[in-house]
Amino acid sequence: MLPAFIMKIFKFFIKTLNILRLLILNFFFWGIIIFSLVLFINKEEATLESNSILLLNLNGNIVEEKTALSPLTGLAGDYLNRAPKQEMRLRDIIRVIEQAAKDPKIVSIQLDTTKMGNAGFNSLKDISKALDLFKKSKKKIIAIQDNYSQKGYYLAAHADTIIMNPVGFVGVHGLSSYRLYFKRAIDKLFINYNVFLVGDYKSALEPFTRNSMSGRDKEQTRDWLTDLWGIYRNDIIAQRDLSDANMLYNYTHNLPELLAEVGGDSAKLAVQAGLVDKLLQRHQVSPYLKELSYNPENTVDFNQYLATIPPREYSSEKPTIAVAIAEGKILPGLQPAGVIGSESLIRIIKEARDDENIKALVLRINSGGGSAFASELIRQELLAFKAKGKTLIVSMGRLAASGGYWISADADQIWASPATITGSIGIFAAIPTFEKSLAHLGIYCDGVGTSPLAGATNISKPLTEPIKAALQISIKHGYRQFINIVSIGRGIEPEKVEAMAQGHVYSGKKALQLGLVDKLGNLSQAIEAAAIEAGIKDYNLIYLEKELSLQERVLQLFSAGLKSINTMTQISPEMAFFAEEVNKTQEFLKSPDPQGIYAYSGDYPY
């Protein structure tokens, strides 16, 4: 009797669990649907009136292609105190500014970068160029914020007037690049990190093999940081018409002394340094705008205004230039938006190749590379595109290094921003094994195989000498292949390529001097160059990118609202930062390269 009774209880328990599971799944499903419908129904339509102010509120990361999100991404981000940031496409920002410049109903731009997230310096330069063109339409730009971050201030410097709160500050402090190093931690965990690489400057693996930055990595990092800071500094001096060119140097090098002179008042210092024009409290902003004959009540924000812009006209009678976005790490196979999947990008390139109306392709690259295998597959498809007599132009974004350069080398022209980070011609393999970690716990691996290579991928035992030798030979072969690709694609002698390779990273400015890129300019200039190269004048412009599916769009909307769900389980910001740094450092190892060989440079934040 007792076993039967227990079985009944057990069955009832299982049945209850199934019912709960279905209820939870239905809750999430209908929650997503209702959440999306509410957002859609409540979406405000822009009512554009005369004498309107465009609120250029740059919220979130500025990207070339929006990343596909899922609710799990949002939940994981919340747990790490790092909820997914909103994303804005660079081309949408530029298009909004350009449209506003010729829109008679828009009389001014109010710039607000308070919530702006990550943005490459090249993106900031493109936006600033659009802002300068807006000012040429005889319309004013007013930057109004409590504080200014360094990147936000770069854009604000292009405004006619910069307004800040009397208790605010301008966070201009110079550029830096720091990362965490784990060698000692790895040793303490008894992990045997097997590294195979070619290139004295190839530093992507240094966090695993060192406890500090190597001298060569410091040298190359200092070089490109100096180039980028020089661009930033000179642009600020020119835009703000600073009579004392040394003021910015003093602001970043002697801040304590300068603050002492003004009694610690950072806002007063910003005005004296010529970085800010006016100090206003929040309630004083609206009356000030009215004094300038603007009506603050007639304000349309970025998303509202973007929705009013009609799509580009397309004519089947005209030839077409296509733009393909290649942003993120390079991985084999089909990948979601925000990651370069070899098969995903190949499909786009093939679409351009097979469309007789497409005469040129501009490949916009923002990537530090990834899988060498996937990079080569993409390059092969680009060569097939060119073999049909079509024009291929590469436009480099913030980063086009290692695998990102691998897929660039054969272009008819390579365009880069002076602030682009490129080069890093080199490859590596990295295989951690855990035989010592397991032995420390009293666990051992043993067995037999039919050859010295059998069981070579078993990470519970050390790599055999034959597999180590084979990997090093493969790495050397892959490096020579990379050198030859660059040599043939760029028309440079292999010896000269070898001298500038070695995994060395360069700014776009330096890459132009070395012949690794052809021209300095933005995406619009690269598109114009494609038209000239293809011999066409009047043309359609289309973007061939992986659009988010309906499911991905719904999930992305749903993810944006997840932050309030998981606040009770957040870890500390310090631990979240550490977890994020560890994840970024080892993320390239998630690339399932068939041979375990990577053309990856790292992300190079600054």
- Which residues lie across from 423 on neighbouring strands? 401, 505
DSSP 61-98: EEESSPPP--HHHHHHHHHTT-PPPPEEEHHHHHHHHH
Q: In the numeric block, which tokens belong to residue 422?
A: 């490129």
Point out the residues that are catalytic: 202, 402
Q: 121-135 and 215-240 helices cross at what angle (nearest 10)?
A: 10
Q: Are 66 and 87 in contact (CB under 8 A)?
A: yes
Angle, helix 2-41 to helix 550-560, in steps of 10 degrees? 90
Q: In what order do the strands lie in the sheet with 278-279?
A: 278-279, 161-164, 140-145, 106-112, 52-57, 299-301
Which residues 6+ apart lie within 8 Å of 43 measured at CB?
A: none
| DSSP 8-state class, residue 589 | G
Residues 143, 126: Cα–Cα separation, whole Å: 17
One-letter amino acid for residue 507 of the chain: S
Distance between CA atoms of residues 178 and 285, nearest Å = 38
- From first CA to last CA, the distance across the chain in angstroms is 71
Neighbours of 241 (CB within 10 A): 7
How far from the centroid of its chain's Cα atoms is residue 22's Cα? 38
